Amino acid sequence: MEREGGKPAAVVAVVTEPRFTQRYREYLEKQKLLDRQHRVEKMPDGTVALPVVGGALPEQYLQELRDRVAPGSTCKVTQLLDPVPSKKAQGCSPAQRLCLEVSRWVEGRGVTWSAELEADLPRSWQRHGDLLLLSEDCFQAKQWKNLEPELWEAVASALGVHRVAKRGRVLPDGTRTPAVTLLLGAHGWVEHVDNGIRYKFDVTRCMFSFGNITEKLRVASLPCAGEVLVDLYAGIGYFTLPFLVHAGAAFVHACEWNPHAVVALRKNLDINGVEDRCQIHFGDNRKLKLSNTADRVNLGLIPSSEEGWPIACQVLRRDAGGILHIHQNVESYPGKNLQPPEGTEMEKEHWPYPQQIITNECTSGATRDSRRKTLSAAPKPEWQRWAESAEIRIATLLQQVHGTQWKTQILHIQPVKSYAPHVDHIVLDLECRPVL
């Protein structure tokens, strides 16, 4: 059990004199309250501390120890701030430790432990500092309800945290608000560090995807020095911050309509020291008044950012254009083909150069973005077909928005993560330049 920074989490222990230790141990074992994951410790005053499970010991057990088990004994409750793991615990995985401690705690409450309950325990979870975020597909059996809220203290104790939350499905409210319930603790604010960037957010109000780390690292390596960037779906700063902190963007316009995400974004800009290089545009980005300003636009919304494509074209500089980073979930079901739309004559005029996906090599005249080393894995045919379709659509939008002809080129297709079976989250880097 560890706190953030590698320190062991505190555990609750019962303290008594050495001569009563064996009686206390036998009683606690019989009641399935003895914490076998930590060693019994001798205290500086000569007393002995016996770790117990569940994060707290009900008064009825303390009274029993004082009056019946060991009359005359000193019976106090304390916290071991640096508990020593037992030899058994050192060879135990977190999931095994959770099963062991929760099963003992449940049986100590007079409930029969069953295969159904064991199968209902989580095998994985997210950890944000001292907060454990469980998935929605665990602790669903009806028996758990009768054990709440003390159950969550037992879970927290087993895994060395102080707060527990459980995730539901993302709410269909347009702001991707997570349906997260705080089960133990006073608030849901946490801090996470990625690539030296600090992100603070409320897990009950804002999304955070660990699976996007590869794209955040890639964004941090892009050559953005001196550029103005528009992030159309900024959230808590997932990509805004790497662009500012590591990629060297001169200024970022960050658009977000979730008020809770905006609160977190302001905090994160401040704690990372880049608040003077970012303007937050709160509200629907489709109503954004910006135009003719961006060297680069990030469209980090899945399953699709297509509603933001017209405004992305609007904010690109008319004189020089720029690069769009377009996120999309693309299906790759066997036998299912995504066909590019039929191109009109006008669309074909916007397609002066052959479409291509540049990974490790580029043609002469390619931009500095395409010269970067990127993953050499060949893109799936479905990714390429979607990219070609998106390129045609963007070319059409650019002419409609600016009233002039533009040329477009696919620089790169970047896989981010597998979103679901046969569904991939990818990013299209699309270069868009006016024909002068």
DSSP string, 324-384: EEEEEEEE--TT---PPPPPPHHHHHT--S-----SS---TT--HHHHS----SPPPHHHH
Q: Average pLDDT, stretch 222-230?
A: 97
Residue 229 β-bridge partners: 252, 296
* Residue 83 pLDDT > 50: yes
pLDDT digits (tens, 9 = 90+) for 248-303: 999 999 999 999 999 999 999 999 999 999 999 999 999 999 999 999 999 999 99
pLDDT digits (tens, 9 = 90+) for 379-403: 789 999 999 999 999 999 999 999 9
> What is the C-alpha to C-alpha distance for residues 252 and 297, in angstroms, rounded to an integer?
9
Q: How many CB atoms lie within 10 A of CB 233?
A: 23
Q: Which of 422, 169, 171, 428 is nearest to 305 (CA)?
A: 428
Phi, psi of 251 (to 5 degrees): -160, 145
Dihedral angle of Cα 178, 179, 181, 186, to the nearest 10 degrees: 40
> What is the C-alpha to C-alpha distance for residues 208 and 18, in angstroms, rounded to an integer?
49
> What is the C-alpha to C-alpha distance for residues 295 and 272, in angstroms, rounded to an integer?
23
Label the pairing between strands 278-282 and 251-256: parallel
**Which fold does the domain 209-333+380-434 belong to in CATH?**
Rossmann fold (3.40.50)
Q: Which of 281, 287, 227 is nearest to 254 (CA)?
A: 281
Q: What is the pLDDT of residue 348?
A: 28
Instruction: Determine contact, residues 207/216, Cβ cutoff 8 Å.
Output: no
Q: What is the pLDDT of residue 262?
A: 97
Omega into 149 within 30° of 0, i.e. cis?
A: yes
Q: DSSP state, 238?
A: T
Could you tell me the residue ranges of all domains in the chain?
A: 11-80, 94-186, 209-333+380-434
Please classify residue 111 by burial: count the beta carbons closer than 10 Å to its beta carbon, then call 0-12 exposed, 13-18 middle and 19+ buried. middle
pTM for the structure as a whole: 0.69
Write the CATH number of the domain with boundaries 11-80.
3.30.70
- 325 to 102, 232, 308, 390: CA distances (angstroms): 46, 11, 12, 12
pLDDT digits (tens, 9 = 90+) for 32-66: 888 887 889 999 899 999 998 866 778 888 999 99
End-to-end CA distance of the chain: 63
Instruction: Determine contact, residues 295/229, Cβ cutoff 8 Å.
Output: yes
Q: What is 94-186's CATH superfamily?
A: Met-10+ protein-like domains (3.30.300.110)
Region at 435 (left for phi over 0; alpha for psi -120 to 50; beta for the rest): beta
Q: What is the pLDDT of residue 403?
A: 93
CA 169 to chain centre: 14
Instruction: Determine contact, residues 426/416, Cβ cutoff 8 Å.
Output: yes
> What is the C-alpha to C-alpha distance for residues 262 and 240, in angstroms, rounded to an integer?
12
Instruction: Determine contact, residues 309/394, Cβ cutoff 8 Å.
Output: yes
pLDDT digits (tens, 9 = 90+) for 337-379: 444 443 333 222 233 322 332 222 333 334 445 434 333 356 7
> What is the C-alpha to C-alpha distance for residues 65 and 311, in angstroms, rounded to an integer?
70
Which residue type sits at 54? G
pLDDT digits (tens, 9 = 90+) for 312-333: 999 999 999 999 999 999 998 6
